[in-house]
């Protein structure tokens, strides 16, 4: 159920149109996350992954690795200023949201694109 401050937007990830409910203040972040997820999936496909499911999983692993690296760097690097802390916090939040969006996409794709025991290949 959408609240008064939410609206629906359409995004395309890996050639799949997805309608999402979003509040206005989060739309730029969500669109950026969707773009990054789509780029990572397309890179995985270009890298030789023949199924959308596998490409999506590879993209999820890449983004999760980026998130872990950012968290470790944030813990190891002393903060020079409140501005630097805010930038790291914003970057960490962006990566966390991107990984979450990708996990949701993986779940949705696995439910809709797979037949039991055989992933659907991407058409050439």
Question: How many domains, the chain?
Answer: 1
pLDDT computed for residue 84 by the predictor:
63
Is residue 68 in a domain? yes
Q: Evaluate if pTM is beyond 0.75.
A: no
Name the helix (H) or strand (E) containing 114: strand 114-115
Residue 97 falls within a domain, yes or no? yes
Going from the first residue of the chain to its last (124 residues), give the mean pLDDT of each consecutive group of 10, the final group possibly shorter. Answer: 73 92 89 94 90 92 93 77 67 84 76 54 46
Provide φ and ψ at 47, rounded to 5°. Answer: -80, 0
Q: Is residue 13 part of a domain?
A: yes
Q: Is residue 123 part of a domain?
A: no
Say if 103 falls within a structural domain.
yes
Query: Cα(66)–Cα(38) distance, rounded to whole angstroms?
Result: 16
């Amino acid at each position: 159920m959408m609240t008064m401050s939410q609206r629906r937007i359409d995004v395309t990830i890996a050639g799949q149109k997805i309608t999402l409910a979003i509040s206005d203040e989060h739309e730029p972040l969500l669109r950026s996350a969707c773009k990054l997820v789509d780029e990572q999936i397309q890179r995985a496909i270009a890298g030789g992954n023949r199924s959308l499911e596998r490409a999506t999983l590879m993209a999820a692993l890449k983004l999760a690795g980026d998130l872990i690296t950012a968290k470790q760097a944030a813990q190891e690097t002393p903060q020079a200023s409140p501005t630097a802390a805010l930038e790291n916090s914003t970057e960490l939040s962006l990566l966390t949201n991107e990984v979450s969006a990708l996990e949701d996409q993986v779940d949705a794709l696995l439910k809709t694109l797979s037949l039991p025991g055989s992933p659907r290949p991407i058409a050439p």
